[in-house]
Amino acid sequence: MEILEFNENLKFNEELILVLGYFDGLHRGHQSLFTEARKIASILNLKIAVLTFPEKPTLTFEKFKPEMLLKLTSDKKREELFAENGVDYLVFKDFTSEFAKQTSSEFSKNVVMKFRPKVVVTGFDYTTGSDMKNLKSTKDYRVVTIPEQADEKGKISSTRIRQAVEAGDIREANQLLGYSYETSGRVVHGFARGRQLGYPTANLVIKDYVHLPAVGVYTCDVIFAGERHRGFASIGYNDTFNGTEKTVEVHIFDFSGEIYGENLTVLWLDKIREMIKFDGIDSLIKQMKDDENIARNFQA
Enzyme catalytic residues: 249
| Amino acid in the structure at residue 29 | G
CA distances from 216 to 120, 122, 150, 291 (A): 43, 38, 29, 11
Cα–Cα distance measured from residue 168 to residue 273, given in angstroms and rounded to the nearest whole number: 10
Rg, the chain, Cα only: 22
Task: List the one residue out of 77, 31, 22, 38 whose CA is nearest residue 176.
Answer: 31
β partners of residue 202: 250
Nearest alpha-carbon partner for 180 in 270, 251, 79: 270
Contact yes or no for 188/230 (Cβ under 8 A): no
What is the spatial distance between Cα 105 and Cα 74, in angstroms, rounded to a whole number?
33
The number of beta carbons lying within 10 Å of the beta carbon of residue 137 is 12
